[in-house]
Structure 1
Amino acid sequence: MLRLATASLAGTAIEFYDFFVYGTAAALVLGPLFFPTFSPVAGTLAAFATFGVGFVARPLGSVLFGHIGDRHGRRPVLVASLLLTGASTVAVGCVPTYDTIGVAAPLLLLVLRFLQGLGLGGEWGGAVLLTVEHAPAGRRGLWSSFPQVGPALGFLLANGVVLGLSATLSEAQFAAWGWRVPFWAAGVLATVGLWLRSSLAESPRFLEIDDHARVPLAEVVRDHWRLVLLTAGALSIGYAVFYTVTTWSLAYATERLGVSRSVMLTCIMGAVLVKGSLTPLVAWLGDLHGRRPLCLIGCTATALWMFPMVALLATGEPLLMFLGFLGAMIAFIMMFAVIAAYLPELYEPRVRCTGAAVGYNLGGVLGGALTPIVATALADQGGRVPWGVGAYMTGVALLSLVCFALLPETRPVPAAAAEPATG
């Protein structure tokens, strides 16, 4: 289990590195380089729009790779998704800017960002299911937290590279070529990930299935459509919180408040580091006390914290901004630490790879794709404190709270270690 969970963690860290490094670049440099004819705010909005395309592609990746995972096994998904995401990320670093090839530059960005999202849409389902379906029933939450730590590590690695480049390069050097280096590094990371995953065993739960779904998506839509919609709505606040902190606030503070890029990256990375460190502990609590109660607590905490968070951000003071981000990340991980066990347990094994991944990534469209765009537009209409962003985030949190309240609990009881059948 330790070897398997470690390989899953490494893979999700690498793939989310690819995804996050684009978000950081979108917040810092892609607007001026690829949309130079736009105003600063419009350029940022356009860059965030290309960022959002990756989220739109993720559910499609869930369908494509979910079909493979439910029909042919979880393991092939891990290799194919990593190859696609890694190759498209390296290619982003090679795209000429608008000044060189004109409108073709942002169009290429859109295509490559779409391919990134397509690959990541398959990654989460494959990595999580391979871990969950190997784990003993009473420890699914704990073992599945390993791939859930991967996004935090990927984010820290992506932003650590950007922070290092920001500290050693001038603004002109960073804009000219420095921003490309993190994308090129994805090729090395993808090679490492493929080596780690080359010898993983197939899920025993998948091998036990005698009657595989012919068209998994059709079964999910026919039999589990309500469950997919509820999980998407429930997870939307987690995505919204994460990308408000890690992407929108970075652009807002550097452009509107005059905070340096290095200070903002340090504040955000500190909060994400704490979030990643707490993930196994919270997941273990989910094994003890249930998945749903922790999700309800996380949603409630998020709804209560969004107005204080934007107020602390607006101060421009590093310590206060860090505290605002930290509170948001702790509320976030109360939900997402247990999701890797919770979502697969909601679906029957024959359509689990498709159902869990589609619900997970539709939540990304609702929360991750829209939030930086909506938050940027709302902040541009307000004063120094972006209260509109706080109101929007609180509304999303309340929507997710209702959705979690309508979902069942799935934690296996000690006397029944068999596969739950709540789907």
Structure 2
Amino acid sequence: MSTQPAVTSHGIQDDELGVPRWKIIMASVVGTTIEFYDFYIYATAAVSVFPLIFFPGGDAQTALLASMATFGAAFVARPLGSIIFGHMGDRLGRKVTLIGALLTMGIATFIIGLLPTYFQIGLWAPAMLTIMRFCQGLGLGGEWSGAALLVTETAKPGKRATAAMWPQLGAPFGFLLANGFFLILTLAFGYNSAEHGDNHVFIDWVWRIPFLASIIMVAIGLWVRVSLEETPVFKRAIQKDERVKAPLKDVFRENWWQLILGTFIMYATYVLFYLMTTWILSYAIGAPDAGGLGTSYNDFLVIQLIAILFFAAFIPVAGILADKFGRKPTMLVITTLLVVFGLSFGWWLNADIIVSADGSLNTTRMVLFMITGMALMGLTFGPMSAILPELFPTETRYTGSGIAYNVSSILGAALTPFIATWLMGSFDVSYVGYYLAAASVITLIFLALSPETKYRSLSDLDQDEIQRTR
């Protein structure tokens, strides 16, 4: 008699898992929290620190653009990471692949904390920084899809989108940890970017602490993931010999349309995310003569930390809505709201409105803008770890969902801070919002073309069903 777990048509019962459900949830949320923490500390440093110590010389705008370019290097690496780790995940299993992705990301982040600066070794410094950023991208490219599959392939019947919220919560949790850590350090050492510039101990060495401390969290994540078992859905694929030798080849041959759908379904989410986390920080703390608002880093970081709570709060709301009403109608409504939000950027953020005559920021207006954007971010991001895996069959699910997610990161996130900075320099803040609105319209088109995946069984999903729902 088979010892493999039974898999229900649309979910997994608790006694079929092999490990407690809380451990699966913990492994997914802890792992993605660590990965996003590593990613965010780089994003924060890329705006506030790296232009000063890795890209000195010239004007502030040029240094910021150079720093943003290295920020984008990770997004070039992420699709490659999804291919490498996707192959491992579809061939060797979810568990071992998640461990590999975590170590890749964590070691690269730790090394960044040890790098010499431009003033010590010249151009080798930004070159080494870019390489480590590339490695961060490789790790994150394999992390998200593995964590998403971990919870969706073990979800209770009818609760897949709700279960899928757990890896998504890693994004706001990681943001809170990373930026909270930076805020504590700036307060403890009395650093104010608007006053001190590069002449401060924070720029000399304190910025390294969050990067070095990440190795502690990596050790915790590694401990959790080593204790996991494979998902019942993947065990069933092994039992039935459904694994393919070349998942990448198969996913491009059999599921090319799902790759396109998944990429553009995620597109607006990524644009919004990096506007609300990276670009808005550079706009807020940038000098007024360079087109910024002249706010201190500490003051604006407090606003971001408040707003990110709404990001976290609306992720489970989106999961519940997607389980109740379906993925497609839920996302169509949310993405329409993103169009409206993008068209309102000029009203929210124009410097003549949000900065008073004495040069101080209208904090209330900025807080409300950030809360609105982050709440929408939670709503659009929450269902994604259910929607993308549901598009693909088991034998190519890790590879397919990972490629779609990470190619979208290039289109929607790698270019976003750079394009937004250019739009600000060439036009005004309204055009940054128009960029978001245009991206949201593109996502709306592909959502309209997509199938409803709420009722699909991940264990029974095959290529014939994929073809019928095109």
> Above 0.5 in TM-score?
yes
1:361 corresponds in structure 2 to 406
Q: Percent of counterpart pairs with the same letter?
A: 39
Aligned residue in 2 for 1:298: 334
Which region of structure 1 is more displaced relative to structure 2, 33-42 or 303-312?
A: 303-312
Call closer, same or farther: CA 1:311–1:168 in 2, change over 3 Å. farther
Whether the 8 Å contact between 1:282 and 1:337 is mirrored in structure 2 is yes
Q: CA RMSD in A?
A: 1.5
1:303 partner amino acid: V
Q: Which residue of 2 aligns with 1:236?
A: 267
The corresponding residue for 1:8 is 28
- 1:211 corresponds in structure 2 to 242
Q: Does 1:394 find its partner at 2:415?
A: no
2-side partners of 1:324 and 1:307: how far apart? Answer: 13
Partner residue of 1:72? 92
Specify every segment of 5 or more residues in structure 1 that has no aligned partner in the other structure, as ranges. none
Quick one: which of 138, 143, 146 aligns to 1:126? Answer: 146
Letter paired with 2:219: T
Determine whether 1:108 maps to 2:144. no
| Aligned residue in 2 for 1:174 | 202
Question: In terms of mean alpha carbon deviation, does 304-313 or 355-364 score higher?
Answer: 304-313
In structure 1, the residue matched to 2:374 is: 329
Hey, what's the Cα distance between the residues in 1 that align with 2:87 and 2:346?
Answer: 41
Cα distance in 1, alignment partners of residues 347 and 137 from structure 2? 32
Contact 2:93 2:230 in 1 (8 A): yes
Partner of 2:348: 312
Q: 2:168 maps to which residue?
A: 148
SS at match of 2:243: coil
Query: What is the CA–CA distance in structure 1 between the aligned matches of 2:258 and 2:367, rounded to whole Å?
Result: 36
CA deviations on 1:161-183 (whole Å, 9 max, x unpaired) are: 01111112243121111211111
Matched, 1:406 2:437: no
Tell me which protein shows more helix as a share of its residues.
1
Distance, in Å, in 2 between the alignment partners of 1:158 and 1:200 is: 26
Measure the CA separation in 2 of the matches of 1:14 and 1:132: 20
Q: Is the 8 A contact 2:40 2:174 kept in 1?
A: yes
Instruction: Measure, in 1, the Cα distance between the counterparts of 2:39 and 2:459.
Output: 36
CA separation in 2, counterparts of 1:130 and 1:310? 41
TM-score (norm 2): 0.87
Deviation at 1:382, TM superposition (A): 2.9
Give 1:417 deviation, angstroms. 9.0
Partner of 2:17: none
Kindly indicate whether residue 229 of structure 2 is the aligned counterpart of residue 201 of structure 1.
yes
In the superposition, relative to structure 1, how do residues 68 and 417 fare at CA in structure 2: closer, same or farther (>3 Å)?
closer
Q: Over residues 87-123 of structure 1, what are the superposed CA-to-partner deviations in whole Å (9 max), with x where a residue is unaligned?
A: 0001111111111110001000110000000001001
Q: How far apart, CA to CA, are the structure 1 residues paired with 2:329 and 2:154?
A: 25
**How much has 1:397 moved relative to structure 2?**
1.0
**1:179 aligned partner, one-letter code:** W
SS state at 2:207 partner = helix
**Alignment correspondent of 1:272:** 308
Which of 183-192 and 289-298 deviates more? 289-298
Q: Report which stretch shifted further, 132-141 or 149-158.
A: 132-141
**Map of 1:247 onto structure 2:** 278
Q: Does residue 1:263 correspond to 2:294, yes or no?
A: no
* Cα deviation 1:356-406 (Å, max 9, x = unaligned): 1110111111111000000011111235xx111111111111111111111
Structure 2 portions without partners, runs of 5+: 1-20, 192-199, 287-291, 355-360
Match of 1:88 in 2: 108
Q: Report the Cα offset of residue 313 of structure 1.
A: 3.1
Bigger CA drift: 68-77 or 324-333?
Answer: 324-333
Give the conservation status (yes or no) of the 8 Å contact 2:344–2:430: no
- In the superposition, the TM-score normalised over structure 1's length comes to 0.96
Query: 1-side partners of 2:96 and 2:414: how far apart?
Result: 28
Q: Which structure is larger by alpha-carbon Rg, 1 or 2?
A: 2
Cα distance between partner residues in 1 of 2:100 and 2:213: 19
Q: Report whether the alignment pairs 1:345 with 2:390.
A: yes
Q: Could you tell me whether the CA contact under 8 Å between 2:269 and 2:377 is conserved in 1?
A: yes
Check conservation: 1:48, 1:372, Cα contact below 8 A: yes
Structure 1 261/117 Cα, relative in aligned 2: closer, same or farther at 3 Å? Answer: same
